[in-house]
Structure 1
Amino acid sequence: MDHKEKHLASSAMLTDIVIGMSDGLTVPFALAAGLSGAVSSTGIIIIAGIAEIAAGSIAMGLGGYLAGRTATDHYNSELKREYEEVELVPEKEKEEVRGFFENLGLSEEVQQKAVEDIARDKKKWVDFMMKYELGLDKPDPKRATKSALNIGLSYAVGGLVPLSPYFFIDTPVEALKLSAIVTLICLFVFGYFKSRMTGVSPWAGALKVMLIGAVAASAAFGVAKIFEG
């Protein structure tokens, strides 16, 4: 059981990192590219980029927190309802438990014994219904906070990648060239591992993520140049 919980926690953290890093690499990259086509000072791009990273980290983190809270609130609401049902309509709930064991192919004698054993302990009974009737596992009470931090920090780390060349190069277009190389490599590597996690073809996934970032940055740069002209 302990091993399973660690695995789930790790999976949740990786999901958060993927969410935060995906937008963190792409959005500031597109912003920096667009500004590179419109302004002549890397200082302006750095200020705008840092402001975007700060705002994006907070927004993404808040979204993760609210998603975590929603999952917890939903679980608690269903838990309360199940306690009420085993109290008010116990026979109906027992029949649902029996139906679960019937679907497993167990004999009627074993079904009845299993139902009686589970129904002796109300907490065990409700936990059984939550997991096997509703398919809900008890969420980590700290999940919302952890998710907010994981997503927010991942966004910030990802956002600093495309912005970093602008700290060392004075010409926006020259800085963009290095930013594009570094960011597209990072997007390719990120897309590769993300695709492996989700069971998609790693190479195809890597190219897809990299192309999305490239198209977004190119579009932003092109639009900026059009309006500048």
Structure 2
Amino acid sequence: MPDTSHSHPHGAHQEQHLRSSDFISDIVIGMSDGLTVPFALAAGLSGAVSSSTLIVTAGIAEIVAGAIAMGLGGYLAGRTEADHYESERRREVMEVETVPEREKEEVREVFADMGLSPTLQIAIADELAKDKTKWVDFMMKYELGLDEPDPNRATKSALTIGLAYVAGGLVPLAPYFLITIPHEALFYSCGLTLICLFVFGYFKSKVTGQPPLSGALKVMLIGALAAAAAFGVARLFG
């Protein structure tokens, strides 16, 4: 039996990195919309109604609907990624079986691009072709640039995005649970939400490699503009 002990740590590290990246991306997607959309809704209603109870009811309804919609979107995106990978893998398996020489040529082209000599290209392609599973794995990774997705990616994505949306959405609504006058609650909601948007934008920018301070200010400004627009429209038509 061949010794594969050296390949496991690298594979485990890569998979952990990919899953971590997906998890962070899902949190960013859910939290950014969760903080912004209910904030704009609550601000808009504050300019049109006189009861915080109505705003809380509408806000909770929006959070539930938004979390379900966002979670479903994440689930469908995850399923699409998995289905695409499986479809491409089936095609590669078929090509390895039916046109092996053409597939070997594609392997040689990959190593030619890496600067290996023609002799080494042929030797590696012939050796790789002895194990069709690894051959297909190689083609998926280096010809198509596709990594095998986590089989539970769709479900995890849906839950992460949905819960992040709920967590973000409860922030701007929190003052309305405690203060009965909408305009007064809006003042505290704005302060609390803008602080959270700034902190969220800061860490989001750090994770994505963007300038943290400018990224934080951009996220906070977008949330403030959305809330101001909603409040202004509600006051105009109210």
**SS of residue matched to 1:106:** coil
Map 1:1-229 to 2 at 5 A: 1-228=11-238
Deviation at 1:109, TM superposition (A): 1.8
Q: CA RMSD in A?
A: 0.6
Q: Distance in 2 between matches of 1:197 and 1:160?
A: 24
Deviation at 1:11, TM superposition (A): 1.0
Structure 2 residues not aligned, in runs of 5+: 1-10
Deviation at 1:199, TM superposition (A): 1.5
Identity between Structure 1 and Structure 2 (%): 70
Q: Distance in 2 between matches of 1:217 and 1:210?
A: 11
Deviation at 1:203, TM superposition (A): 0.7
**SS of residue matched to 1:39:** coil
Q: Distance in 2 between matches of 1:138 and 1:6?
A: 13
Deviation at 1:201, TM superposition (A): 1.0
Runs of 4+ in 1 over 3 A off after TM superposition: none
Q: Distance in 1 between matches of 2:20 and 2:114?
A: 31
Query: In the TM superposition, what whole-angstrom CA distance separates every residue of 1:171-221 from its partner, at most 9, and x where no partner exists?
Result: 000000000000000000101111111121111110000000000001111
| AA at the equivalent of 2:19 | A
Please give the TM-score of this superposition, normalised by the length of structure 2: 0.95
Q: Distance in 1 between matches of 2:213 and 2:13?
A: 31
Deviation at 1:102, TM superposition (A): 1.2
Query: In the TM superposition, what whole-angstrom CA distance separates every residue of 1:27-54 from its partner, at most 9, and x where no partner exists?
Result: 0000000000000000000000000000
| AA at the equivalent of 1:135 | G
Deviation at 1:4, TM superposition (A): 1.7
Deviation at 1:69, TM superposition (A): 0.2
| AA at the equivalent of 2:141 | K
**SS of residue matched to 2:145:** coil
Which of 124-133 and 108-117 deviates more? 108-117
Deviation at 1:110, TM superposition (A): 1.4
Structure 1 residues not aligned, in runs of 5+: none
Q: Distance in 1 between matches of 2:135 and 2:18?
A: 23
Deviation at 1:14, TM superposition (A): 0.4
Please give the TM-score of this superposition, normalised by the length of structure 1: 0.98
Query: In the TM superposition, what whole-angstrom CA distance separates every residue of 1:107-159 from its partner, at most 9, and x where no partner exists?
Result: 22211111111100111111100000000000000000000000000000000
Q: Distance in 2 between matches of 1:152 and 1:209?
A: 20
